[in-house]
Structure 1
């Protein structure tokens, strides 16, 4: 029977389609589901038309409604058609005529290229390259190496004409998908072996049979990373109604290989920049592990904040339909798990209370240093190294601390620590990290509580939290699965997993492809971090980089705006939100974040006054689809929006002076605090998919200035999409 598969390019544009157009897609899909091939080609409503002067006779159009057309790959053999794009009538015809389909002889996947535009620009680039004294971009790689990675003769000619990265950026959107990724990886500095491992090897696992470049039916089934075979109308309806949930039907081969590997011999780790699908992989890993649980086994899915717990719960509900299986997964923050293990009624103190308590303890013992020094010493030395006594503290190496502490002063510091913890206990109070230490002791004595532990946003966890998670699961194959990104470390926790008994050597994979943001947004945001080292999760002696990190999505770049006053900044923000909504965005597809809560309150109030529904995003409260979401940068971690505005990005907010340890107090802590603030801005900007807007009053954040991101200013909002 015929069926209409859906390409990832269609899903990328899905949020922009009006409900009536989505309904037209549903109607077209149902026709493919119930009609024969002969009936499909004769159906007057569908109008499965061939195109005059098309580059590929297998690419046709279908009617979605009076004004919209779908572009379809209609292979000469087989029953499976692929919906590539849905566009306005004239744009759909023009786009379809320029495209050409093929089957990659190495990866076995269906590829689409803009053949007409490539044929038009390639001779010009060849002439430019011939006159240039620069070495060609891909000169270091032989034709044999490139062909072994799936580069065909047409793309090879184009690759050989490219001189620099800027030219590759022009070619990239036009090239076949797998071949585009290969060239982008190589251009960013990856080796042939790394590209083979990430792109080619996962695709080859699907089949060992020779490639038939005419067998589209088989090739479509080898293209699961970009073509979804939806088999039930209920499933399609759910996807069309919830476009941001569409990720669950796509996994890149590299992601699928990690998530659905039969078993790991020990702890495993996946890292990658924002939007690379780490959380998606973690959720799919939970789904895989659920299928193999024995009676009584349970899984802990844990992360850092309650907002992320909400997001993981929503994703898991979409991915795991069986309620009995779903109920065998506990989703909670690491701190919530610690509280459950300890089962205490003692109230945790917040940051302000803790600082006051340190001041009281110092006064009692006669310590003359600052409460800030004591809190950091307790966190980064005592708790991080699990120090239990004075002698151990006096002889320890204060790794990661840039403040001098004579050996003679350590005894007093330790007495102050003891005074701090004693007073907390007497008053029925506790710290979150101290509770993790207690929980670790209980788990060590009582035994593990879970068969598997899956950790998302792992980069923000403290050593005390890692020890607890290590004790929560037995040392067996598939015990810990860890997802994180050192470049998104917004809390100052420095960890070497290996030193904590969590060794991921040989079981660590890095994802490089962003599936959320456009390349234009991504390039702008990564400029905030490039050139700065970030310690890996697995081994604090090595550094992670953004090498090879990129996106296949393209669109407009970020817009920045310098306002004269805060009122003017809020007014322009309201205009920007209206422009996004007028362009077809739903209110719930827009997120606005700021460094401070008070700024968020002003934003929400200003939008409501302007007639724009807005609500605060808080942990435990469901995100609403009928209001613009407003929250702090910390709250937005792990979330994503079609459009994101980051406001109040001035030199008084980022870095936040109260979050920065003075350099003369502790140089290393000062640098770590600045890195955390820089990462926070990077995280905020990478929440955006299609559009990013950044604004400030006064002087822009030095992070923007240093990266060259705050120099292009606009007088008003971006135009409607």
Structure 2
């Protein structure tokens, strides 16, 4: 029986389609399920039409409604058709005529290219290349190497005409996807061997038979990273009604290889920039592990914030349908897990944690009591980065402690007084029935080390912001054995002051670490703009803080408009402009729940909510929207940059990006107090803006009043 599959390019544009058009897609799919091939071609409502002067006779159109057409790949053999795009009538016809399908002889997948535009551009680029003094972009790679990576003769000619990466960016959206990815990796500086390992090998289908370039039925089934076969109308209806859910249908071969590997011999790690699918991989890993649990085994799925916990819970519900299986997964923040361990201990008491401002004032009080003349800020950081980080329990251990990474000097003779002040601080807290969150984690780790692990597997998302104390807790929560820890994170999104080396904590991921480089969330234009905020800034790896991570090869397959920036004279004018931007998004069919507004401070968030509501636009804080049931689909969500971590929206407005907000002076250690900590804090502030901007998928709007942030100025905005 015929069936209609869906290309990832269709899903990329799905959020832009109005509900009646989406219903038309569902109606068309149901016709393919109901009718025979002969009936499909004769059906007057579907109008499965061939096109005159088309580059590929296998590319046809179908009617979605009176004004919209679907472009489908209709192979001459087999029963599977692929919906490539849904566009207004004239645009659909024009786009369809330019496209050409083929089967990659190396990866065995279906590929679509804009043949007409490529044929038009290539001769012009060849003439430019002949006259250019520049070396050709791929000159150091032989034809044999490129063909071994799946580059066919047509793409080879086009690749040989390029002299720089800017030209490749023009060609990239037009090229077949597998081949585009190969060229982008090579242009970014990767070797042939690295490209084979990261791009080609995961996509290969084990077969001893030669590739049949006419067997589209088999090739479609080899293209699961880009073509989804939907088997039930309920499943398709859910995807069409919740477009972001569609992205959970697809796993790139490199992601699937990581998520569904049978077993790892120890802790495993997946890293990558924003939008590369680390969280989706982590969720799929949980699904895989659930299928192999023994009686009584449980999984801890943990992350940093409550907002991320809610997102993980919703993601797991969409991925694992069996509620009994899901019940074997505990989902919580690391701090929440620690509090539970401490409260459940015999005689355990739920002590109230300190908030940030309280902690600093208590350090000042302790320093006054002992006569320590240094700052409260120094004491708080010494306690966090040296004493807690190295699990120091005695003065002797502190006197021998490694203080590398601390930019403030401390003579050996001064350490006893610092230690006395720390003891006074902790004793005063205990007397008042209070503790810091990290103290709670340290106590929970001690209890688990005494009584034994709680879980068979621990899966960690947004791992880059966890403190060494929290890592010791997670290490104690699971026995050291294969598949114990699965870690997902990105050092470029480290927005809290918790630099850590997994290696130093005995969590060794060497040989079990994979880096994802392809962004599936943001357009290339948003990505390029956002990454400029971090260019040239050293970012320490998760595994080893003595080595720096890079964004080499990080890119997106999606394209669209670049970010919009707006400079306002006053804060009032900036809020008025925000209302105008949000209304413009709504007028183009974007749902209110697909819009996020982010600012550095809660005060600015409250002002944004008030101004939007005054204009008749529903808006709420992240927490209120997430707990309001249906409110998520109808309410613009507003939150701080910290709370936006790990989330995504179709459209994002980042407001208040002024020079007094980013960097925020109170969040940055003065260089005269600690020069190294100053640089770390500045990097955290940069990363915070980077995280906020990379929450956007289709549209990014950035505004400020008065003078812009120095980060924007340095990035050339």
**Interval containing the TM-score (normalised by the shorter chain):** over 0.9
Which residue of structure 2 lines up, in the alignment, with residue 121 of structure 1?
A: 121
Check if 1:611 corresponds to 2:619. no
Match of 1:506 among 483, 507, 511: 511
Q: For 2:404 and 2:308, how far apart are their aligned partners in 1?
A: 30
Q: Could you state the TM-score of these two structures normalised by the residue count of structure 2?
A: 0.98
Indicate yes or no: 2:666 matched with 1:661: no
Equivalence map 1:571-582=2 (5 Å) = 571-582=576-587
Provide Cα deviations, 1:163-189, integer angstroms capped at 9, x if missing partner: 111111110000000000011111111
1:210-609 equivalences in 2 (<5 Å): 210-343=210-343, 344-609=349-614
Alpha-carbon distance, 1:237 to partner: 0.5
Q: In the alignment, does 2:25 pair up with 1:25?
A: yes
SS in 1 for 2:57: coil
Match of 1:714 in 2: none
**Where do residues 607-686 of structure 1 align in structure 2 (5 Å cutoff)?**
607-618=612-623, 621=627, 624-686=632-694
- Return the offset for 1:207: 3.9
Deviations 1:470-498 (A, max 9, x none): 00001110000000000000001111101
Question: SS where residue 201 of structure 1 aligns?
Answer: helix
Aligned residues: 709
- What residue in structure 2 maps to residue 718 of structure 1? none
Q: CA deviation at 1:638?
A: 0.6
How far did residue 606 of structure 1 move? Answer: 0.6
| Separation in structure 2 between the aligned mates of residue 205 and residue 333 of structure 1, nearest angstrom | 39
> Counterpart of 2:137 in 1: which secondary structure?
coil
SS at 2:105's partner residue?
coil
Shift of 1:557: 0.3
CA RMSD between the two structures: 0.9
3-state DSSP of counterpart to 1:581: helix
Unaligned runs of 5+ in 1: 710-721
* 2:702 is aligned with 1:694: yes
| Residue 248 of structure 1, CA deviation | 1.4
Deviations 1:227-259 (A, max 9, x none): 000001110000001001111110000000000
**Deviation of residue 210 (structure 1)?**
2.4
For residues 524 and 417 of structure 1, what CA distance do their matches in structure 2 show? 44
Is the aligned partner of 1:70 residue 2:70? yes
Verify the 8 A CA contact 2:455 2:477 in the aligned structure 1: yes
Separation in structure 2 between the aligned mates of residue 21 and residue 594 of structure 1, nearest angstrom: 35
CA contact (8 A) 2:668 2:682 kept: yes
Instruction: Look up the match of 1:181.
Output: 181
Deviations 1:574-601 (A, max 9, x none): 1111111111101111101000000000
SS at match of 1:49: coil
Q: Distance in 2 between matches of 1:254 and 1:294?
A: 28
For the 8 Å contact 2:462–2:489, the answer to whether it is kept is yes
Contact 1:206 / 1:222 at 8 angstroms: preserved in 2? no
Deviating 4+ runs (over 6 angstroms):
none
Q: Is the 8 A contact 1:381 1:399 kept in 2?
A: no
- Partner secondary structure for residue 139 of structure 2: coil
Shift of residue 198, structure 1, vs aligned partner = 1.1
Return the offset for 1:206: 4.7
1:707 pairs with 2:712: no
Structure 2, unpaired ranges of 5+: 344-348
**Distance in 1 of aligned mates of 2:246 and 2:334:** 28
- For 2:627 and 2:645, the matched residues in 1 are separated by 15
CA distance in 1: counterparts of 2:10 and 2:518, whole angstroms: 18
Distance, in Å, in 2 between the alignment partners of 1:513 and 1:700 is 30
Q: CA deviation at 1:627?
A: 1.2
User: Matched residue of 1:618: which SS?
Assistant: helix
In the TM superposition, what whole-angstrom CA distance separates every residue of 1:626-680 from its partner, at most 9, and x where no partner exists? Answer: 1111110001001101100000001000000110000000001000000000000
Structure 1 residue 361: Cα displacement = 1.0
* Separation in 1, partners of 2:205, 2:279: 23
C-alpha separation in 2, matches of 1:206 and 1:458:
34
Query: d(CA) in 1 for partners of 2:141 and 2:713?
Result: 37
Match of 2:184, SS state, is helix
Q: Which moved more, 1:183-192 or 1:678-687?
A: 183-192
Deviation at residue 208 of structure 1 after TM alignment: 4.4
User: Structure 1, residues 340-389: CA drift from partner, whole Å, max 9, x if none?
Assistant: 11113110111011111111111111111111110000000000011010
Match of 1:199 in 2: 199
The equivalent of 2:346 in structure 1 is none
Residues 618 and 635 of structure 1 are in contact (CA less than 8 Å); yes or no, is this contact kept in structure 2? no
Q: How far off is 1:621 after superposition?
A: 3.2
Report the Cα distance in structure 1 between the residues aligned to 2:483 and 2:235, rounded to whole angstroms.
31
Shift of residue 266, structure 1, vs aligned partner: 0.4
TM-score, reference length from structure 1: 0.98
How far is the alpha carbon of 1:19 from its aligned partner? Answer: 0.2
Whole-Å Cα distance in 1 between the matches of residues 589 and 557 of structure 2? 23
Rounded to whole Å, the distance in 2 between the matches of 1:586 and 1:347 is 40
Shift of 1:618: 2.4
Note the alpha carbon deviations across 1:420-456, whole angstroms, 9 max, x for none. 1111111110111111111111101111000000000
Cα distance in 2 between the residues matched to 1:194 and 1:531: 23
1:135-165 deviations in Å (ceiling 9; x for gaps): 0111111111110110000000000000111
